[in-house]
Amino acid sequence: MSVPRTWRNRRALYSLEGSKCQKCGKYYFPGRNRCLDCNTNELENYNFSGTGKVATYSWVYTPPKGFNNRIPYCLAIVELDEGPKLTTQLVAVEEGDVEIGMPVEFSFRKISSEGDEGVITYGFKFRPKNYPNHLKKK
Ligand SMILES: [Zn+2]
């Protein structure tokens, strides 16, 4: 991710900010300037609650270059309570912990730092909603 793009996305990355259509009520993450449903440009910034559920997931054993994640890690598509879906990493889970429909919440984390320029790229991750008590039930 280049420096300008990191800067441009900064607010969305720090706060899970998207937009909401003032006409039809549809939510977008990341935010948009024009609604895909009703084609209005009457959208306002919206801060998502940060809670949702796992729509689907997979365990990754070979991370992309630049990621220093513990292997394996869980990559999931999370459906936010407001509707939009996003791809994110689930943290604080082990293989076997994750299932479709599991409630999760936004958990801000650093994702990666890029080599020579020392640019730290921040992003969002999610964790089980009842963290850290989600493991005590076992
Ligand atoms: Zn709309």
7-32, pLDDT tens digit by residue? 555 555 557 889 999 999 999 998 99
**Ligand 1 ion local residues (Cβ < 5 A):** 21, 23-24, 26, 35, 37-38
Answer with the residue of higher pLDDT: 66 or 97. Answer: 97
d(CA 96, CA 18): 32
Q: Find the angle CA(127)-CA(44)-CA(19) to the nearest 5 degrees.
A: 30
The mean pLDDT of 89-103, rounded to a whole number, is 93
Say if residue 6's pLDDT is above 80. Answer: no
In this prediction, residue 132 carries a pLDDT of: 77
Find the 31 Cα to ligand 1 centroid distance in Å: 12
Q: How many residues comprise the chain?
A: 138
How far, in Å, from the CA of 30 to the mean position of ligand 1?
15
Report domain extents, the chain: 3-135
- Using CA atoms, how far apart are residues 108 and 93, in angstroms rounded to an integer? 15
**pLDDT tops 50 at residue 55:** yes
Distance 98 CA to ligand 1 centre (A): 33
Q: How far is the CA of 6 from the centre of ligand 1 (A)?
A: 27
Q: Is the entire prediction scored with pTM above 0.85?
A: no
pLDDT at 4 over 70: no
Distance from residue 80's CA to the centre of ligand 1 (Å): 18
Q: How close is the Cα of 17 to the center of ligand 1, in Å?
A: 17
* Higher per-residue pLDDT: 104 or 112: 104
